[in-house]
Amino acid sequence: MLALYNSLTARLNDHGDIVLPTLARLIFSGVLLAYFWKSGLTKLGDGFFGFLMPSSGAYAQIFPKAFEATGYDTSQLGVFHWAVVTGGTLAEFVLPALIVLGLLTRLSALGMVGFIAVQSLTDVFGHGAELGSWFERMSGELIADQRSFWILGLLILVFKRAGPLSLDRFFKNAP
d(CA 152, CA 140): 16
pLDDT attached to residue 8: 86
pLDDT attached to residue 143: 85
Q: What kind and span of H or E run contains 155?
A: helix 144-160
Look at residue 9 and tell me whether its pLDDT is greater than 70.
yes
Average pLDDT, the chain: 92
- What amino acid occupies position 144? A
Q: What is the DSSP letter of 63?
A: S
10 pLDDT band, cuts 50/70/90, is confident
Burial of 82 (0-12, 13-18, 19+ CB in 10 A): middle
SS3 sequence of 91-113: HHHHHHHHHHHCCCHHHHHHHHH
Burial of 167 (0-12, 13-18, 19+ CB in 10 A): middle
Q: pLDDT tens across 46-63, in order?
A: 998 998 999 999 999 999
Look at residue 65 and tell me whether its pLDDT is greater than 70.
yes
Q: pLDDT tens across 147-174, in order?
A: 999 999 999 999 999 999 999 999 988 6
Q: What kind and span of H or E run contains 131?
A: none
Helices (H), 29-143: 34-41, 56-62, 64-69, 79-101, 105-121
Domain spans of the chain, in order of start = 22-162
pLDDT attached to residue 106: 97
For residues 75-103, give the mean pLDDT. 97
d(CA 26, CA 131): 27
Percent of the residues in the chain that have a pLDDT greater than 70, as a whole number: 97
pLDDT attached to residue 144: 85
Burial of 90 (0-12, 13-18, 19+ CB in 10 A): middle
For residues 90-119, give the mean pLDDT. 97
Lowest-confidence region among 71-85, 105-119, 122-136: 122-136
d(CA 74, CA 6): 62
Look at residue 41 and tell me whether its pLDDT is greater than 70.
yes
